[in-house]
């Protein structure tokens, strides 16, 4: 049974050569539109202090405004030879999941750390499995206090929530703040934010700073207090005491009746909104449908929907990932990688998250992976030719 839970040794050490330092490798990301880099020079300084080498592919930092010289000054080596870099990598640190070719070029004891999309595209990790690689997904880092410095999902959601508002503000044919001028009063824009998790709360805070009147909606009652504390109105729907969140604080999938009550409330409030930003997700599932065709048809001409759930199917029925859709003067955008459009700060936050995680894997200049560690173990996807994460194993069995 390939995907049953294997017995994993509590710890193992890399077979790093005694006279050579362990290599942490950073490649130039080559996904379309990707401008982030996995490690920024500031983090390189911290990592070389762990008595390991950092080798960076030439040009890797340019999208995030960092040159090869910036990396050299921080203590990294620069290489133009991608194949040699891969062959020498003990740990490959990436933003996006590496290609099949990159996985195939790594040595068997190599470790890969990045956003690997293990739950929504588990089959894409087959090459890593076949290669016997040890892979860690930043998406699986548990949201426990000890792992807060490694919470890359929150980092990227923060950037995406901010940028969604900026995008919305630049799209609509009006201003955000209330202005009282000699030529009359300009009313503030109205912004409706669906899903008040990390991205949604950052969107609320940003829209409020720009002077908009903001409403927020979430199925988790706990989100209400946070929405109100940011100066927005919380839209409440009577779900009849239904359980809406799991023990980890995440939303659970709701019944169709409960979902419909939410959609009706949203449709009512979307009528007066200039910008609707949707951020609702249920981990490991298709994004919940919150904005129906009727709701879009009821919106004002010139208004805009920014759907941040586009990568998992979208919260608006009309959204098309990374495309612009027009419906009766309403513009619907579903950008799937907004963090890449703020590459300096997105890379800086991600790089710090990754560096904190590396701190758990490296001891005395060598790999020392403790699968019993409550952050390391749950974040591991594949190890020694087996899927070691039960959620990923379950996701794989459903797609097989």
Give the residue numbers marked as catalytic: 143, 148, 151, 154, 250
Q: Of these, 28, 220, 261, 300, which contacts ligand NAD (CB under 6 A)?
A: 220
Question: Whole-number minimum distance, CB 185 to ligand NAD, in Å?
Answer: 33
**Which residue carries 């703040």 as its tokens?**
177
Helix (H) and strand (E) counts for the chain? Answer: 13, 20
Q: 3-state SS of the chain: helix, strand, coil percent to 5? A: 35, 20, 40
**Please, what is the minimum distance in Å from the beta carbon of residue 350 to ligand NAD?**
15
Distances in whole angstroms, Cα of residue 366 to Cα of each of 12, 18, 91, 192: 10, 10, 11, 49
Q: Does residue 119 bind ligand NAD (CB under 6 A)?
A: no
Measured CA to CA, the distance from residue 170 to residue 56 in angstroms comes to: 36
Binding ligand NAD by CB under 6 A: which of 60, 159, 165, 223?
A: 223
Is residue 282 at the binding interface for ligand NAD, with CB under 6 A as the rule?
yes
Binding to ligand NAD by residue 310, rule CB under 6 A? no
Q: Name which of 105 and 235 has its Cβ closer to ligand NAD.
A: 235
Our CB check for ligand NAD shows the closer of 37 and 156 to be 156
113: left (phi over 0), alpha (psi -120 to 50) or beta: beta
As a whole number of angstroms, the distance between CA 337 and CA 309 comes to 10
Helix (H/G/I), strand (E/B), else coil: 306: strand
The number of residues that bind ligand NAD (CB under 6 A) is 30
Angle between helices 343-361 and 152-171 (to 10 degrees): 170
Span near ligand NAD by CB under 6 A; candidates 46-54, 76-84, 281-289, 382-390: 281-289
Which x/- pattern, by CB under 6 A, does the window 66-95 give for ligand NAD? ------------------------------
End-to-end CA distance of the chain: 13
- Nearest approach in angstroms of CB 144 to ligand NAD is 7
* Residue 269 is a binding residue for ligand NAD (CB under 6 A): no
Residues that bind ligand NAD (CB under 6 A): 143, 148, 151, 153-154, 157, 194-200, 217-220, 223, 249-251, 254, 262, 279-283, 288, 290
């Amino acid at each position: 049974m390939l995907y049953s839970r294997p017995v994993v040794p509590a710890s193992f050490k890399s077979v790093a050569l005694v006279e050579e330092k362990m290599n942490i490798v950073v490649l130039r990301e080559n996904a379309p539109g990707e401008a982030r880099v996995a490690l920024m020079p500031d983090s390189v300084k911290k990592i070389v202090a762990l008595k390991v080498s950092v080798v960076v592919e030439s040009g890797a930092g340019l999208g995030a405004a960092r040159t090869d010289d910036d990396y050299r000054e921080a203590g990294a080596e620069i290489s133009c030879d991608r194949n040699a870099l891969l062959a020498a990598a003990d740990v490959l640190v990436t933003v996006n999941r590496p290609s099949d070719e990159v996985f195939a070029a790594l040595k068997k004891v190599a470790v890969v750390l990045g956003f690997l999309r293990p739950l929504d595209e588990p089959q894409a990790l087959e090459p890593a499995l076949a290669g016997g690689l040890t892979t860690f997904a930043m998406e699986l880092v548990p949201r426990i206090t000890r792992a807060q410095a490694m919470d890359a999902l929150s980092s990227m959601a923060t950037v995406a929530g901010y940028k969604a508002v900026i995008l919305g503000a630049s799209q609509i044919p009006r201003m955000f703040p209330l202005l009282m001028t000699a030529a009359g009063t300009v009313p503030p824009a109205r912004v409706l934010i669906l899903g008040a998790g990390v991205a949604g709360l950052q969107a609320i805070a940003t829209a409020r700073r720009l002077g908009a009147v903001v409403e927020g909606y979430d199925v988790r009652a706990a989100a209400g207090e946070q929405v109100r504390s940011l100066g927005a109105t919380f839209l409440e729907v009577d779900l009849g005491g239904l359980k809406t969140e799991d023990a980890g604080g995440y939303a659970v999938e709701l019944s169709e009746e409960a979902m419909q009550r939410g959609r009706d409330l949203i449709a009512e409030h979307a009528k007066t909104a200039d910008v609707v930003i949707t951020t609702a997700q249920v981990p490991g599932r298709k994004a919940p449908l919150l904005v129906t065709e009727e709701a879009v048809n009821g919106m004002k001409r010139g208004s805009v929907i920014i759907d941040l759930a586009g990568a998992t199917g979208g919260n608006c029925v009309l959204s098309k990932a990374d495309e612009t859709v027009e419906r009766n003067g309403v513009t619907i955008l579903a950008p799937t990688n907004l963090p890449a459009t703020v590459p300096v700060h997105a890379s800086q936050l991600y790089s710090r998250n990754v560096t904190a995680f590396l701190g758990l894997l490296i001891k005395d200049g060598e790999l020392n992976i403790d699968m019993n560690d409550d952050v390391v173990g749950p974040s591991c996807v594949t190890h020694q030719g087996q899927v070691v994460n039960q959620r990923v194993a379950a996701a794989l069995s459903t797609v097989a």
